[in-house]
Chains A and B, each alone.
Chain A
Amino acid sequence: MATKMNQTNNQGPQFEVLTESQIEQIYASALDVLESVGARFHHEEALELFNNSEAVVTDKNLVRVPASLVERALRSYPRSIYLQGRNGKNQVRLVPNEVAYGTGSDLPFFIDRETGDRRSTSYKDVNDAARILDYLPNYEFHMSHGIVCDAPNPQTYDRHQYLAMLENSTKPMVLTSVDGEGLEDLWRIATTLVGGEDEFRLKPQFVAYIEPISPLNNDRTAVEKLLFAAEKGIPAMYTPCPSSGATAPATMAGMLVQSLAETLMAVALCHLKKPGMPLIMGGVTTVMDMHTTTYSYGAPELSLACAANTDISKWLGLRMFSTGGCSDSKTLDEQTAVEQMTSLFYAHLSGANLVHDVGYIGSGTIASLDSLVLNDELIGMVRKFCEGLNTDEDHLALDTIREVGPAGEYLTHEHTFEHWREWFMPKLQDRSDWDTWNTNNQKTMIDYLKEETDRILNEHEPEPIEPDQYKEIKKIVHEADERHS
């Protein structure tokens, strides 16, 4: 039988925002910023590390870094990172073009499911969100969906959030922390679970979320966390949150140059501290709405800049923490669905590794459990499309077409039986006819969503945490509360 040669098969659509020459332009400009503008660091040890290298520190804390140092540093970072859940399962592989989804973090407000109103977020809310996330198949990792406002002390809320998530979920996490001490406690909890510091390095269970202050400014607590992560080999992302027009240039390319410079500063610093930590690139790169002043989570520019950033990350050989599934709408409505779906699509097409902030409403201030459930369905649709299609013999179905012939039907054919389950199966969408819909109380997606959220909350029982481990973790959290009381 003849065999095929020189085939190009697209299993999945191909998508790029930037060409290689454009990436090179942006990269060269970022290096220029590092050499000619520099960044501020409000941290003694960081300044010392830079001072003892070929970087130049002037005006007390203004650091300029030569390209040579950045390039040397870039080569030392791992190109793939494997995360896992507390039971050793649910691995997330950060390799190029493999996309995982997760929530965003620390929302101060929660939509109360009884009243429909927004109120401040509690420990129980973070519990519920974690339980739902543990259940929903299209999310691979999570962050503390809300900020625990009823923690005993504002300086220890990060430990309580981790605790709430661990109790309810076995998926890997991305964690925010109050400061270096907070991160150390989170890391101690994880090493307890995984069996020590060295084991954690091999099987990290969380990524530390850290941010610079755009433009080109690095505060003490952020740097403290970064240096601790570098020392212990904790995966971390240094994720700029610029708002174009306010804390970054109003052009997307300018914003990308600036945020890349911010990232490369961390690349250089962590390398000087200790080469080789799993550093992840990030960015919530968006515009400030010039009518309302809102930092927009629903703007198409967010998707555009994030996808371009992902192109850059692949070129640099760094893995990417991106943004999608979020909205500026205050409630679940048409705007929410449109904005969340759009950004999910582009994030997926870009091939980012960890897509976060999924489910956000209210421009990063409001959490909604129903929104999390909605996005699970949306991600399912996106994944189906981005899978692309198979053109092997079986899928070309020539034999079947021959067998059925003109004016036949496929419903009763074995080929249909074998393949129709490859399709996307809607859970929350109504495809019924008018009469059926009418007799079914004219239910819409929102109704199905609420029922599904209720069902998960009632039925899903996460795999419990080992009692001994739980005790130890509680102890670490308790000690932190004591220290800060």
Chain B
Amino acid sequence: MEEKLGSISQTLIEGKADELQKQVQEALDGGATPEDVMNQALVAGMDAVGQQWKAGDMFIPEVIRSAKAMSGAMDIIRPKLSESGGAGSGTFVIGTVLRDLHDIGKDLVAMMMEGAGFKVVNLGIDLDAEVFVDAVKEHKPDILGMSALLTTTMPQMGEVINALKEAGIRDQVKVMVGGAPVSEEYAEEIGADSYAPNAATAVDKAKELLQA
């Protein structure tokens, strides 16, 4: 079995989505627990991908390919995990704030979160505070991510946090912010729980938030 799980990791690192789904299904059919597949094969594989990316041995297109494959595998694993009462990696909702049209950074963060096993809801760009509040109510995410690339739209992130408070749901979700003009200090100033300067760090910070 250990060998099988190792080969799943390898398929994930190579980003072969169809092959990966097949292997995951086979492992489950062969009696592996969803927890083992998740932790020993998938999470282990994505950890390796993350390390290779940081070391400069893997690059964004390859990392995203693995992340997409991971997301496909999670579609199979997630229902099994909840059946057996185990927890997945959680839900992540993300969007770009009002009057801001920059989306590629936000999309990258979304893809990397998928790669980390999160169920991701990507709301889009130019979003009203209300949209964020409704999304938190609907999807009950563990983490809400907001992206702003303009100094002029950054304050909107604070507005959304206030709107969450007003709706009485601020304490139900962790808030994470990012974007080129955003900084650690700014995140603190508006009362966000976390900040990350890039997609790689975003994944690490999200995992920290879940453990906290």
Contact = CB atoms under 8 A, between A and B. Distances in A.
A155 B150 CA distance: 12
B65 to A, nearest CB: 12
Interface string B150-179: 111101000000000000000000000000
A245 interface: yes
A360 to B, nearest CB: 13
B114 to A, nearest CB: 16
Contacts of B180: 108, 365
Contacts of B155: 154
Interface in B53-77: 53, 56, 59-61
A149 B151 contact: yes
A246 B104 contact: yes
Interface in A212-249: 213, 219, 243, 245-247
A247 B103 CA distance: 10
B198 interface: yes
Interface in B88-106: 101, 104-105
B181 interface: yes
B151 A154 contact: yes
B122 to A, nearest CB: 15
Contacts, number: 42
B108 interface: yes
Given A108-B181, A365-B181, A291 B60 contact: yes
B101 A213 contact: yes
B199 interface: yes
Given A213-B101, A243-B104, A246-B104, A288 B60 contact: yes
A242 to B, nearest CB: 10
A139 interface: no
B151 A292 contact: no
Contacts of A365: 180-181
Interface in A395-452: none
A109 interface: yes
Nearest to B149: A108
A292 B59 CA distance: 9
Nearest to A294: B198
A290 B151 contact: no
B5 to A, nearest CB: 29
A213 B108 CA distance: 17
Q: Which 4 A-B pairs have the closest CB atoms?
A: A154-B152, A108-B181, A290-B59, A290-B60
16 contacts: A108-B151, A108-B180, A120-B181, A149-B151, A154-B151, A154-B152, A155-B152, A245-B60, A247-B104, A288-B60, A290-B61, A291-B53, A291-B59, A291-B60, A293-B108, A365-B181
Interface of B: 53, 56, 59-61, 101, 104-105, 108, 150-153, 155, 180-181, 198-199
